[in-house]
C-alpha cells in the first residue's frame, strides 16, 4: 500500500520520476490499491513516461481486431498504452500513428496523430512528410520536409538519414511486407528547394542489393521503400 502520510502531489512527483526512467517501475504502485492506481494514471505522470520498451513490440499494444481469428483480443499493455495516449505521451502518439497506417490502413488517421507532435518530434515530422508523399499529397509532404529541415536537420545530413532509418525500422516492426498500397500514389514534392534529387533513380537502382550510401537522396529512397511496404 502507498504511505497515507505522503501527500498525493508528492507521491505523483515520485511516480513521475520513476515513469521518466521506465514505465515498468510503476508496477508496484499500480498494484498497491486504488490510491496508487489513481496516482499512476494521472496525466502529468504518464505524459512523459518512458514507454520505449513497451513500444518495441507492437503486439504488446495492438488494438482488438488486430488478429482476425480473435477480434476480442488486444495487446496485454493496450489499456496502459491508451492512458499514455490520452495523456499526450509523444511516444504513444507516434506509435499509434504507425499502428493506424499499418494495421488499419488508415493513413489519414495516422497523419492526424503524428501532426499532434510535429514539428517538435523529429521522427514524427519526417513520418508525416513520408505518409503525405505516399498518399500523393506532394504539397503537404514538402511542407513537413521543410519543417523537418528548419526544426531539426538538413535533409541531406547524416542525422536525417538516421531518423529515416528509425522510421523505416519502426514501420517494419508491424510486419507489413511489400503490400504496395501506396506505390502508385507516391508523389515526391517538386517545388524548388524540395525536389527529387537528380541522383535518386540511379542510386535506387544501384542500391537494391546494397545499402544506399548517398545522403543526398536518402529521404526520397526511404519514402519510396515505405510506400512499397505499406
pLDDT tens digits for range 190-226? 987 898 888 877 877 776 655 777 788 889 999 999 9
Report the first-to-last Cα separation within the chain, whole angstroms.
47
For residue 1, what pLDDT is reported? 46
Residues of the domain holding 191: 88-229
- Give 109's pLDDT tier (boundaries 50, 70, 90): very high
Specify if 65 maps to a domain.
no
Specify if 186 maps to a domain.
yes
Task: Map grid coordinates 505499406 to a residue.
Answer: 230
Specify if 8 maps to a domain.
no
> Cα 230 vs. chain centroid, distance in angstroms?
15
For residue 69, what pLDDT is reported? 58
> Cα 131 vs. chain centroid, distance in angstroms?
12
pLDDT at 27 over 90: no
CA atoms 78, 79, 81, 85: torsion sign: positive
- Give 80's pLDDT tier (boundaries 50, 70, 90): very high
Please state, in angstroms and rounded to a whole number, the distance separating the CA atoms of residues 199 and 176: 28
- How many structural domains comprise the chain? 1
pLDDT at 4 over 70: no
Give residues with Cβ within 8 angstroms of 30, minimum separation 6: 36, 37, 40
pLDDT tens digits for range 152-176? 999 999 999 999 999 999 999 988 7
Please state, in angstroms and rounded to a whole number, the distance separating the CA atoms of residues 87 and 97: 15
Specify if 106 maps to a domain.
yes
Average pLDDT over residues 116-145: 97
pLDDT tens digits for range 31-66? 888 888 898 999 999 999 999 999 988 888 887 666
Specify if 41 maps to a domain.
no
For residue 72, what pLDDT is reported? 61
Specify if 7 maps to a domain.
no
The segment with the largest mean pLDDT, out of 98-107, 127-136, 203-212, is 127-136
- Give 122's pLDDT tier (boundaries 50, 70, 90): very high
Specify if 206 maps to a domain.
yes
Tell me the backbone φ, ψ of residue 202, rounded to 5 degrees. Answer: -65, -45
> Cα 117 vs. chain centroid, distance in angstroms?
10
Specify if 141 maps to a domain.
yes
Amino acid at each position: 500500500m502507498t504511505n497515507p502520510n505522503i501527500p498525493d502531489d508528492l507521491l505523483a512527483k515520485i511516480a513521475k520520476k520513476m515513469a521518466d526512467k521506465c514505465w515498468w517501475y510503476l508496477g508496484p504502485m499500480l498494484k498497491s490499491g486504488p490510491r496508487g492506481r489513481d496516482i499512476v494514471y494521472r496525466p502529468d505522470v504518464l505524459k512523459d513516461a518512458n514507454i520505449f520498451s513497451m513500444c518495441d513490440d507492437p503486439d504488446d499494444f495492438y488494438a482488438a481486431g488486430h488478429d482476425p481469428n480473435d477480434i476480442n483480443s488486444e495487446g496485454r499493455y493496450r489499456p496502459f498504452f491508451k492512458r499514455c495516449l490520452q495523456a499526450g505521451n509523444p511516444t504513444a502518439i507516434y506509435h499509434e500513428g504507425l499502428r493506424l497506417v499499418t494495421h488499419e490502413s488508415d493513413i489519414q488517421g495516422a497523419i492526424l496523430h503524428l501532426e499532434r507532435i510535429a514539428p517538435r518530434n523529429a521522427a514524427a515530422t519526417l513520418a508525416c512528410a513520408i505518409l503525405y508523399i505516399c498518399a500523393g499529397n506532394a504539397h503537404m509532404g514538402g511542407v513537413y520536409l521543410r519543417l523537418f529541415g528548419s526544426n531539426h536537420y538538413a535533409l541531406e545530413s547524416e542525422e536525417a538519414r538516421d531518423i529515416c532509418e528509425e522510421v523505416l525500422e519502426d514501420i517494419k516492426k508491424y510486419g507489413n511486407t511489400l503490400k504496395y498500397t501506396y506505390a502508385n500514389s507516391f508523389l515526391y514534392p517538386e517545388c524548388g528547394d524540395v525536389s527529387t534529387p537528380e541522383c535518386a533513380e540511379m542510386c535506387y537502382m544501384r542500391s537494391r542489393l546494397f545499402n544506399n550510401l548517398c545522403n543526398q537522396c536518402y529521404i526520397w529512397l526511404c519514402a519510396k521503400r515505405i510506400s512499397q511496404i505499406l
